[in-house]
Structure 1
Amino acid sequence: MHGVVGVMTALWMAAAGNEGEVATSATVPRLEPRRTFVGVTVPLLDRNGFSVEGEREVDEHFSVNLGLRVAFDLETWNGLLGDSDEAFLRVGIEPGARFYMTGSALNGMWVGPRLEVAHGWWELKGGGYPVGSLEKAWSVGGAVLTGYSLRLGRGFTVQASLGLGLTYERGTVSEPTMLTSGGEWLELRTPFDEWSVGPRGQLAVGWTF
């Protein structure tokens, strides 16, 4: 009788231990490394330029990203292409977030908002005066994009997206004006601000690790 009681007690203690292990494994999630994407992005529906973009997985279906954009006209590089009458340069920062509707973060279809902040310079040369028109402007806006991220072998990743954005731009246009009396040049500065709505599109290639 004592032997039976001992066996039953041992089985009960073993079962209780197994239940504790199951509960512990169920409450403690398995830790996995979060993936990061780094690549180069080319705009499809904007002026010439590119951006360096990084994306970080937060959980299985959510990520945050940050882009550093430089946009320019080829005429900006006057030293390489010879004399030019026009130059354009814009630099900006674009943070955003992405919600993955299919697949997992950094590998599937997603939708998400993006903030766009930039500073631009535009210069037109002409006539005897060295600068015919010079524009400086700040812009701030946002866009909603939907796209697809495809992770291939060895972490090589391709991303494509389309969307719509709203931008507010504020700045000044400086133009030279010659006084008829003394023949001197003065700079006429005209402030401006405007809203614009336009499409967005980009293609990115890089690596996920």
Structure 2
Amino acid sequence: MRWAACAAGVGLALVPMTGSAQAQEELEEVQEARRTLLMAMPGTPVSSIWGLVGQLGIGVEHAVGSYVALVGSVQVSGALQGTESLLPGGSGSSGQTWGVGVDPGVHFYLTGRAPEGLWVGPHLELATYHWTVQNEYLMGRPDVPLSEGDLVTVETRSRTVQYGGSVRVGYTAILAPGLTFQVGAGLTALSSRNTNFGTPRVEGGGAATDVEGQQLLGSGFGPNNIRNWSVSPRMTLGVGWAF
């Protein structure tokens, strides 16, 4: 009787342990299944002739090991902007902007298990932006007031190409049942080249202002290609789902 009672007691004691072990295995299986992140990522604003143009992107991250994940995002931007003159029929400007960029990289996880925890890693950056601008000018004549002068429209187009890289450190949190938040910060170094392409076009004004319009084109535009480089902080935010 004593041996039977002891055996029954041991069996009852093992039941919770078995249940706890099964729960732990199920939790590990769920964590193992979450190897990929899909996130919406607002991008760093792009500097334009009017100010800053916002961006929105889609990012994906996939763990290729316990502490390494491959990442990448595609950013798109677009804007319609313009100004108007205070004078009726006066000068003004309008423009359209669109762009696309890619941002591949690698994350090395210092804590946790990829793709969750504290990470650090390099990124490559490549983007192109296109600008179309229409500027309106009042071309005066000696025999009429300026407000009654001829209205000339000058259209120009340009393209900016940026390439470089960045180093970032960040943290990715995965909450049940899969909601994901990611934040990162670092430094980026970019080289940019701006190119005016196409021939600036003059509309309106008539024969009397054709010469003035051509002078305006000749004096209002600088070099065809402008190159520069910059080093600046980089912030990234993401919210999405892990699966």
Q: TM-score, normalization: structure 1?
A: 0.71
CA distance in 2, matches of 1:66, 1:165: 16
Alignment correspondent of 1:90: 99
Cα contact 2:108–2:121 (8 A) shared by 1? yes
Cα contact 2:126–2:164 (8 A) shared by 1? yes
Cα contact 1:34–1:56 (8 A) shared by 2? no
Deviation at 1:194, TM superposition (A): 1.1
Cα contact 1:45–1:199 (8 A) shared by 2? no
Of residues 165, 168, 179, the one that matches 2:188 is 165
CA distance in 1, matches of 2:117, 2:154: 52
Which region of structure 1 is more displaced relative to structure 2, 178-187 or 122-131? 178-187
**TM-align CA RMSD:** 3.1
- Structure 1 residues 126 and 140, CA, compared in 2 at 3 Å: closer, same or farther? same
- Structure 1 residues 186 and 106, CA, compared in 2 at 3 Å: closer, same or farther? same
- Structure 1 residues 181 and 86, CA, compared in 2 at 3 Å: closer, same or farther? closer
Of residues 80, 100, 109, the one that matches 1:100 is 109
CA distance in 1, matches of 2:213, 2:134: 23
Of residues 199, 214, 224, the one that matches 1:190 is 224
Deviations 1:133-168 (A, max 9, x none): 322122111011111100001111000111110111
Alignment correspondent of 1:205: 239
- Structure 1 residues 183 and 135, CA, compared in 2 at 3 Å: closer, same or farther? closer
Deviation at 1:185, TM superposition (A): 9.1
Deviation at 1:130, TM superposition (A): 4.9
> Any unmatched runs of 5+ in structure 1?
1-31, 77-82
Identity of aligned residues (%): 31
Q: TM-score, normalization: structure 2?
A: 0.62
Alignment correspondent of 1:129: 153
Deviations 1:62-92 (A, max 9, x none): 100111111233539xxxxxx9723222201
Alignment correspondent of 1:25: none
CA distance in 2, matches of 1:56, 1:182: 56
Counterpart of 2:35, as a letter, is: R
- Structure 1 residues 74 and 112, CA, compared in 2 at 3 Å: closer, same or farther? farther
Counterpart of 1:106, as a letter, is: P
- Structure 1 residues 193 and 59, CA, compared in 2 at 3 Å: closer, same or farther? same
Deviation at 1:181, TM superposition (A): 8.3
Equivalent residue pairs, number = 172
CA distance in 1, matches of 2:213, 2:45: 47
> Any unmatched runs of 5+ in structure 2?
1-31, 47-52, 83-91, 137-151, 203-209
CA distance in 2, matches of 1:113, 1:34: 23
Counterpart of 1:109, as a letter, is: L
Alignment correspondent of 1:176: 200
